[in-house]
Structure 1
């Protein structure tokens, strides 16, 4: 039985993948930041540990708890827990940017380091990073999230080169819009960011974004369910030759292609219209 640790399992992609991989025969150890979510998953029969990316001690204890459940081995890690911090770059408080990187980059990096050490000792393992189309291109008012995913892409590409010959493989999954609680979490991050909306040159755009995030209307165009990510995750876990990158959703394929062929000024126009 293969063992996998999945982070960010309270909802969305992490929750779906944890359930499906358990059905597939994996020993799944899920993780959540909130104690109530940990308890809820355990009650559903999914082994879950507490792991908060912003807390070094929590990361180390969460991994130790996961290894205790798995008998000391770990075949795979799916780094998934993240959130998006909205806001124009010129308005973004340093504290808000720092919180974004603590969750989306530094916490992932620390957990990945610890897991790499374990997998090198085993002589095998898979690490899958759930990135984003916004690790390939940028959209306005998503500077913090863009930057965190660009950083993740750079770290992961470098690590892939450094892991060659170790038996440990690392892949990136790059989804566009996926059905989840991402908008709810982004709205909370925006409202607690410390940005003074009324004094900002971007006031009108902020109010429009807030209305969009608060909207209860259906998902945005091209949105897929978490099963689209799960399909790529299974390939990254089980293929003899896992890919370096897995595109998910039409926007990822489209923007990945446009970035390769368009001059920057043309791509900027497209991205501005896509926000």
Structure 2
């Protein structure tokens, strides 16, 4: 019997590439996203698109119910790939925007996780993949709320991993480096809109240029898709995997560097 995979954020980037790769490797794949039209091309690969807004509970519940009804109670793999980066100085970002960042990147992923766990426990099998970031271990200026969401996802994943292991369920964190996606444009636009004027204008302008030029060196999203496939197919996967442009060097430097020195390194990147 084919393993059933539910992948959020399947309309673009890492989510879309993962949906393609898994369905090409004999998985029964459901791709979920707000923009149903952006997943039309996935049908040719055999992916089943479902419209779902990760911030609206009724659509999350309906999505899980539909899949469980169609697969005789199976969602074997959940890939929480839906997410975005809202940038701007903490002083400038409206709290309603900060809450939305956390709603998408944290609460939506955990609500979906809550809904798939009962069937995974019953089937004594499950793989939950949470897409974090190197920004879940290292926080720089002008991305406070984004970093907060990824730090939260890291902590929740650590707790969850130890809660569900006795039921035959693995929780896997993926920490990408720079990946070609819609993320950079969204982050750039939000940064300029939020902090492009006022006290943080100079810093925002320099950091916006860093974001704008990042896609030139970024890794293809297929790199992360292949990593996810590898991780879910291991009998005993590691808790964390890092890949993509500069992911491992950044995490290594963070591990061995003091906070004071790390602050200087980050400041040098936006001079």
TM-score, with structure 1 as normaliser: 0.90
Which residue number in structure 2 is paired with residue 258 of structure 1?
A: 253
Deviates more, 1:46-55 or 1:35-44: 35-44
Which residue number in structure 1 is paired with residue 84 of structure 2?
A: 83
Q: Does 1:117 align with 2:118?
A: yes
Q: Does 1:271 align with 2:269?
A: no
Q: Does 1:206 align with 2:210?
A: no
Structure 1 residues 149 and 14: alpha-carbon distance in aligned structure 2, compared to 1, 3 A threshold: same
Which residue number in structure 1 is paired with residue 170 of structure 2?
A: 169
| Structure 2 unaligned residues grouped into runs of 5+ | none
TM-score, with structure 2 as normaliser: 0.92
Following TM superposition, by how much is the alpha carbon of 1:230 offset from its aligned partner in structure 2, in angstroms? 1.7
Deviates more, 1:101-110 or 1:88-97: 88-97
Which residue number in structure 1 is paired with residue 158 of structure 2?
A: 157
Which residue number in structure 2 is paired with residue 33 of structure 1?
A: 34
Following TM superposition, by how much is the alpha carbon of 1:220 offset from its aligned partner in structure 2, in angstroms? 4.0
Runs of 4+ aligned structure 1 residues displaced above 6 Å come to none
User: What is the number of residues matched between the two proteins?
Assistant: 269
* Whole-Å separation in 2 of the counterparts to 1:235 and 1:196: 40
Which residue number in structure 2 is paired with residue 242 of structure 1?
A: 237
Structure 1 residues 103 and 166: alpha-carbon distance in aligned structure 2, compared to 1, 3 A threshold: same
8 Å Cα contact 1:49/1:66 also seen in 2: no
8 Å Cα contact 1:27/1:70 also seen in 2: no
8 Å Cα contact 2:28/2:47 also seen in 1: no
**1:182-193 residue pairs with structure 2 within 5 A?**
182-190=183-191
8 Å Cα contact 2:175/2:240 also seen in 1: yes
| Structure 1 unaligned residues grouped into runs of 5+ | none
Which residue number in structure 2 is paired with residue 143 of structure 1?
A: 144
Following TM superposition, by how much is the alpha carbon of 1:266 offset from its aligned partner in structure 2, in angstroms? 0.7
